[in-house]
Amino acid sequence: RGALLQIAEGVRHLHGLRIVHRDLKVRAGPYSAGWQAPEVLSRRIAGGDATPGGGGDDESGGGGGSSGGGGGGSRRAQAADVFALGCIFFHCLAPAAHPFGEWWEREANVLRGHAPQLPRIAAPLPDAHDLVRRMVRADPDARPSAADVCRHPFFWGDERRLAFLVDFSDRLEREDGASSALLLCVERDAARVVGRAWDRRVDAALLEDAGRYRSYDRASARDFLRLVRNKRHHFHELPPAARALLAPLPSGLLHYVESLFPRLLMHCW
């Protein structure tokens, strides 16, 4: 993740200077086609270059960065870099793979608007799946900026990830359950995220005193977040067996939660 963040920060820096790279790709072999965004491919083909991985003039995606004239610093021009960066991220996270298939079909799949093939990272890395899915959207206006990429939860450390879950739980507790659109959104897909009885997954040592002061709905994502928040705030008051499961803070508690419900962070974000 650190290496991918460094690459993203490099692109963010270029875009901050109104410079667009235009030729981000992985040169890992002879078949380096398929890294250009659909809008770039369309311009390139309209200009008469239908060669896979072909270049063309600077505006259509040929080698080297540019700035100034030709819309080099525009949001849409920068979005083409983000698309290529998303393909590179996927290639690194699922080695030798590409979100749009094999080298000979990638550009055709991109131009035809085929959905990216991302399931290889969906289960083990739901945060990476969310980020790459956003970066390789067909609509350039729907892609995140390079700065947004750098701020995505995929790059957060353990302390920040756990703090977000705790803070989000605090926010939910202030919501009016009868009318809160946020609560309705959180609970709508709760079964997909925490199951229909999350207590069956949680170790008994962590449930010993759960419900002493407030009851828990074992099918509620909000109530599971409350359990996480309470364990974080009262860690040093927990029985030794419970502390052993969650130590050290913050990594131990976060990893325990994510091992049970890996989609929780992105569901809340």
Which candidate in 23, 49, 58, 148 is catalytic?
23
Identify whether 141 is a catalytic site residue: no
Superfamily of domain 158-268: KEN domain (1.20.1440.180)
Using one digit for the tens of pLDDT, what is the confidence trace for 14-68?
A: 999 999 999 999 875 556 788 999 999 999 888 766 565 555 444 434 455 655 4
Q: What is the predicted pLDDT for the residue at 59?
A: 41
Quick one: pLDDT at residue 57?
41
What homologous superfamily is domain 1-47+73-155 in, according to CATH?
Answer: Transferase(Phosphotransferase) domain 1 (1.10.510.10)
**Residue 264 confidence (pLDDT) above 90:** yes
- The pLDDT, as a whole number, for residue 222 is 96
What average pLDDT score do residues 89-114 get? 93
- pLDDT, position 51: 60
- Considering the chain, what percentage of its residues have pLDDT values greater than 90? 78
Compute the mean pLDDT over every residue in the chain, rounded to the nearest whole number.
90
Parse the chain into domains and list their residue ranges: 1-47+73-155, 158-268
Phi, psi for residue 66 in degrees, rounded to 5: -155, 160
pTM of this prediction? 0.89
Which pLDDT value is given to residue 56?
42
Average pLDDT over residues 71-94: 90
